[in-house]
């Protein structure tokens, strides 16, 4: 990268940072609320039922993880491809992905939950629970009854977020979690209806969340639509493949959770299982941070990859790592100083469960450095469609190193048991990072063909615009574009950028425009992003141009652009105007 390219890349980070702020605050808020809802359920169950209630939640956790395998893998994978289709202006294809994923997931939820209810006793034995344990039986049975409601939240959250509505998606999920927390208190503490109350509260929150996100679609506030369409199996398989690393994570956690529960029942009984449930909920707070960051950057990275904009990809990864580590270290400091009080708050006041829990919380914090890196890079590779490395990270941390670390650390009993988190995350980090570092390809950007793509950054200075257009036309000539096409590309950039600058120069401070041109065998495409107020130059009414009177003559250039473009697509996305033209 030469100095000019580096300067352009640094200036273009304005768009990356501004977009990240727009997505990050809603996504981290909703992720934390989800984690806090689980935290509150654990807290209230511990105070109302005690050790047996916490053990029931831990023994029933694999059921929750099983449906996360289906829900989040398909939802994340589908939303990544949906966002990419929207960025390319292919709205119908993006909407078809959404409808296909939702229909497939709902069918799977109903069928699998019905089978599990029929074979509930064998399922409990598989999970390591005693079928005669009524507390655990009630909890698992209630979970299964409400599966279709609770786990439809995943696809609606991720797809609405990708449909340029991160605030609504976040608000809906946050409201769902808040309702879950409030009703958990009512059902568990005030009404004393037992462990099933924690599931009723989650289901009630899910109903509200689904209504809120569905309103975005029904009221046509974005691109997504409800309509009858033929099932697109190919789109569903592609979504599953991209989201497989997320599904694999939950699959491995599902297997590992069963192993953990069986192991803890053997070495420490219900006290150890209850302590693990608390530590597991602590781990979800760190996961909420990394999940929030990944959700914020997923639509950004998928869009930048479509544009082949490596500078923006690097910027999005950097800002995600910076924020994830900053928040993780703050959380670690808080937990380190409050582990004892937190354990008491969960109702674990007797020994040995109190000692197990305090030790587990403090020991878990050692893995935070590795946990953040593994999580952020796994989401990053998934978003830029390098799923292979996301699969590797997930499989290593959740299975290959997890189970051996678990059994190695369990040899010393509960004193050494908790170190398995750090051992598995640390070994995973070294296993994937070292080979990629030796190849000097940690970011995996070599897979994105940028030979026929060029990005430039423009501000309000018109003197700079002429120089940039000349540079882009030279690039097009080097890519053997036809002279007429090269001329049109320069004209299009000049007219659209000039129109934006002239229209808003007096009403705004600095106006920034990022232009990416892609010239390949499929033709020439322009991606134009600006920070001005909402404005679509392709909707200008050029029929009002009157050469005799001089009325609207400033639109002559826009008129040529409108007639030259084979197709175009405009939307207001992440706070910016985004325009895609194919010439």
- Classify residue 577 as left (phi > 0), alpha (psi -120 to 50) or beta: beta
Output 178-186 pairs: Cβ under 8 A, ≥24 positions apart. 178/33, 178/37, 178/205, 179/204, 179/205, 179/208, 180/37, 180/40, 180/41, 180/204, 180/205, 181/36, 181/37, 181/40, 184/37, 184/40, 184/41, 184/44, 185/40, 185/44
Percentage of the chain surpassing pLDDT 90? 30
What the block records as the tokens of 563 is: 């007639």
Residues whose CB is less than 8 angstroms from the CB of residue 179 and which lie 6 or more positions away in sequence, other chains included: 201, 204, 205, 208
Distance between CA atoms of residues 537 and 532, nearest Å? 12
- The pLDDT-based confidence of 2 (bands split at 50, 70, 90) is low
Alpha helices in 439-520 (DSSP H): 462-478, 483-504
- The pLDDT-based confidence of 204 (bands split at 50, 70, 90) is very high
Exposed, middle or buried by CB within 10 Å (0-12, 13-18, 19+), for 408?
middle
pLDDT at 563: 84
Mean pLDDT of the chain: 86
Query: Minimum mean pLDDT among 210-219, 312-321, 336-345, 422-431: which range?
Result: 336-345
Buried b (16+ CB within 10 A) or exposed e, 96-133: bbbbbbbebbeebbeeebeebeeeeeebbeebbbeeeb
Residues whose CB is less than 8 angstroms from the CB of residue 378 and which lie 6 or more positions away in sequence, other chains included: 245, 249, 389, 390, 393, 394
Q: With 70 as the cut, is the pLDDT of residue 111 above it?
A: yes
Query: Minimum mean pLDDT among 147-161, 263-277, 486-500: which range?
Result: 263-277
Angle between helices 420-438 and 402-409 (to 10 degrees): 140
**Other C-beta atoms within 10 Å of 186: how many?**
14
pLDDT at 462: 53
415 or 420, which is more confident: 420
pLDDT at 9: 56
What the block records as the tokens of 4 is: 């000019």
Alpha helices in 268-419 (DSSP H): 269-307, 310-345, 353-364, 368-383, 387-395, 402-409, 414-417
Mean pLDDT within 314-319: 92
Query: Minimum mean pLDDT among 59-73, 170-184, 457-471, 569-583: which range?
Result: 457-471
Residues whose CB is less than 8 angstroms from the CB of residue 456 and which lie 6 or more positions away in sequence, other chains included: 8, 468, 471, 472, 514, 515, 516
The tens digit of pLDDT for each residue in 148-189 reads 999 999 999 989 988 888 889 989 988 998 999 899 999 988
Distance between CA atoms of residues 238 and 94, nearest Å? 12
Q: With 60 as the cut, is the pLDDT of residue 343 above it?
A: yes
Exposed, middle or buried by CB within 10 Å (0-12, 13-18, 19+), for 229?
middle
Mean pLDDT within 544-565: 78
438 or 464, which is more confident: 438
Distance between CA atoms of residues 348 and 274, nearest Å? 9
Q: With 80 as the cut, is the pLDDT of residue 488 above it?
A: yes
Percentage of the chain surpassing pLDDT 70? 96
Mean pLDDT within 481-498: 86
pLDDT at 143: 93
Q: Which of 143-152, 245-254, 337-346, 521-530 has the highest mean pLDDT?
A: 143-152
């Amino acid at each position: 990268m030469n100095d000019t390219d580096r300067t352009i890349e640094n200036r273009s980070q304005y768009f990356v940072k501004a977009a990240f702020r727009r997505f990050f605050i809603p996504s981290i808020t909703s992720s934390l609320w989800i984690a806090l809802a689980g935290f509150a359920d654990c807290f209230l169950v511990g105070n109302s039922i005690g050790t047996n209630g916490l053990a029931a939640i831990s023994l029933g956790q694999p059921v929750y993880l099983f449906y996360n395998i289906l829900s989040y893998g398909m939802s994340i994978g589908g939303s990544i491809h949906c966002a990419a289709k929207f960025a390319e202006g292919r709205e119908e294809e993006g909407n078809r992905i959404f409808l296909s994923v939702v229909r497939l997931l709902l069918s799977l939820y109903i069928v699998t939950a019905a089978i599990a209810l029929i074979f509930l006793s064998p399922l409990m034995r598989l999970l390591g629970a005693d079928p005669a344990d009524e507390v655990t039986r009630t909890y698992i049975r209630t979970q299964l009854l409400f599966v279709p409601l609770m786990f439809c939240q995943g696809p609606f959250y991720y797809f609405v977020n990708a449909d340029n509505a991160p605030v609504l998606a976040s608000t809906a999920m946050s409201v769902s979690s808040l309702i879950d927390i409030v009703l958990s208190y009512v059902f568990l503490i005030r009404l004393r209806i037992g462990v099933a109350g924690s599931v009723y509260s989650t289901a009630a929150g899910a109903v509200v969340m689904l209504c809120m996100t569905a309103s975005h679609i029904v009221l046509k506030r974005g691109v997504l639509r409800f309509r009858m369409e033929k099932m697109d199996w190919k789109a569903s398989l592609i979504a599953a493949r991209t989201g497989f690393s997320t599904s694999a994570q939950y699959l491995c956690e599902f297997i590992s959770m069963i192993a953990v529960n069986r192991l803890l029942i053997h070495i420490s009984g219900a006290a150890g299982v209850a302590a693990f449930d608390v530590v597991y909920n602590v781990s979800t707070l760190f996961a909420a941070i990394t999940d929030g960051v990944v959700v914020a950057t997923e639509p950004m990275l998928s869009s930048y990859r479509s544009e082949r904009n490596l500078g923006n990809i690097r910027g999005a990864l950097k800002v995600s790592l910076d924020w994830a580590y900053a928040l993780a270290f703050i959380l670690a400091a808080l937990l380190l100083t409050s582990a004892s009080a937190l354990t008491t708050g969960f109702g674990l006041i007797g020994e040995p469960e109190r000692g197990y829990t305090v030790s587990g919380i403090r020991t878990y914090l050692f893995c935070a450095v590795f946990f953040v890196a593994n999580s952020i890079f796994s989401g990053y590779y998934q978003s830029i469609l390098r799923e292979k490395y996301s699969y590797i990270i997930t499989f290593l941390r959740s299975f290959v190193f997890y189970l051996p670390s678990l059994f190695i650390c369990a040899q010393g009993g509960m004193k050494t048991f908790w170190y398995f988190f750090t051992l598995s995350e640390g070994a995973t980090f070294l296993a994937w990072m070292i080979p990629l570092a030796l190849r000097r390809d940690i970011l995996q950007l070599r897979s994105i063909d940028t030979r026929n793509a060029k990005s430039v950054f423009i501000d309000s200075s018109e003197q700079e615009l002429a120089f940039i257009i000349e540079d882009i036309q030279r690039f097009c000539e080097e890519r053997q574009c036809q002279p007429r096409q090269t001329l049109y590309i320069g004209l299009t950039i000049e007219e659209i950028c000039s129109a934006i600058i002239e229209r808003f120069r007096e009403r705004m401070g600095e106006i920034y425009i990022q232009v990416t041109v892609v010239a390949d065998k499929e033709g020439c495409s322009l991606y134009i992003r600006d920070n001005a107020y909402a404005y679509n130059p392709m909707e200008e009414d050029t029929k009002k141009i009157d050469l005799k009177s001089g009325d609207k003559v400033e639109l002559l250039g826009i008129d040529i652009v409108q007639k030259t473009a084979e197709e175009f697509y405009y939307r207001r996305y992440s706070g910016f105007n985004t325009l895609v033209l194919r010439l």
